[in-house]
């Protein structure tokens, strides 16, 4: 079962309780809780509850037990003003997107967000085979119009996330750890899925994002893309991650047209 790691202060903040009480509460949600030697809190959640792979998801469930909320949580959904134009991408035909504003990312939450993303990749995503998530700083997208296409790997150039050098997509697939791990999933005859904002590459799903749209402490607004081979999984994943982010952003989600 997935094991999640959080700083104690974040657990207290999310649940609104002292740590000892918070850990007792989550155990009522069938979450095993333990403070480990390095001071982190480890929470082991049921594998079939991906909506609880984040502290925000756990806190949302706990709010019902505490009587803070009753019934289903409702989110305001509006048109984000962003559109994805998708052409035929046979190895990964489905894409969906959303925008969440006012998330206010700090170092602790960024660490948790990466963990959340990878736990979803490992479960719902089947190690990115069925689904992969891209998270971007909305303010760094150059255009409200995005295009999802198959492109030749020698013609695509960008700086991969964590890099400092512009590379062709072929080099990214051959020379980076992410490329070696996931580069064969959607590669077809030297072509690969590419997501662009305007003319700029922001992601090569399911491998890696571009450095240009990196999320970092201080990021406020987040653009989410989810691609995959199973439409239901893509949409379920988008709902899970957008709603969790919206718990930090006033429960308002922007829908992206596709």
Counting the structural domains of the chain, the total is 2
Same domain (yes/no): 123, 247: yes
Identify the domain boundary among 45, 65, 85. 65
Of 118, 127, 106, give the one whose Cα is nearest residue 5. Answer: 118
pLDDT of residue 68: 77
Same domain (yes/no): 42, 134: no
DSSP characters over 48-98? T-GGGSSHHHHHHHHHHHTTS--S----EEEEEEEEEEE---TTS-EEEEE
Same domain (yes/no): 102, 209: yes
Identify the domain boundary among 65, 97, 119. 65
Is 110 within a domain?
yes
Identify the domain boundary among 65, 93, 114. 65
Could you read off the pLDDT of 192-234 as tens digits, one per residue? 999 999 999 999 999 999 999 999 999 999 999 999 999 999 9
Q: Give CA torsion, residues 142, 144, 148, 151, to 10 deg.
A: -30
Question: Is the per-residue pLDDT at 151 higher than 90?
Answer: yes
pTM for the whole thing? Answer: 0.95
Same domain (yes/no): 89, 170: yes
> 253 has which bridge partners?
77, 100
What range defines the domain where residue 242 resides?
76-257
């Amino acid at each position: 079962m997935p094991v999640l790691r959080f700083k104690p202060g974040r657990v207290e903040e999310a649940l609104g309780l002292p740590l000892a009480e918070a850990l007792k509460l989550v155990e009522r949600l069938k979450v095993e809780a333990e403070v480990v030697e390095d001071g982190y809190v480890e929470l082991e959640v049921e594998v079939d509850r991906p909506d609880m792979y984040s502290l925000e998801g756990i806190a949302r469930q706990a709010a019902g037990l505490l009587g803070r909320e009753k019934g289903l949580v409702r989110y305001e959904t509006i048109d984000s003003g962003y559109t994805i134009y998708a052409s035929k991408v046979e190895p990964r035909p489905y894409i969906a997107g959303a925008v969440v504003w006012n998330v206010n990312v700090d170092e602790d939450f960024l660490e948790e967000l990466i963990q959340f993303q990878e736990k979803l990749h490992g479960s719902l995503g089947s190690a990115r085979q069925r689904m992969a998530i891209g998270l971007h700083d909305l303010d760094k997208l150059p255009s409200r119009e995005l295009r999802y296409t198959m492109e030749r790997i020698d013609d695509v150039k960008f700086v991969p996330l964590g890099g400092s050098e512009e590379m062709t997509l072929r080099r990214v697939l051959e020379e980076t750890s992410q490329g070696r791990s996931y580069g064969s999933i959607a590669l077809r005859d030297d072509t690969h899925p590419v997501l662009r904002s305007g003319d700029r590459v922001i992601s090569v799903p399911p491998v890696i994002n571009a450095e240009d749209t990196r999320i970092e402490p201080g990021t406020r607004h987040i653009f989410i893309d989810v691609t995959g081979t199973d439409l239901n999984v893509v949409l379920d994943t988008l709902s899970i991650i957008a709603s969790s982010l919206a718990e930090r952003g006033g429960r308002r989600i922007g829908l992206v047209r596709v």
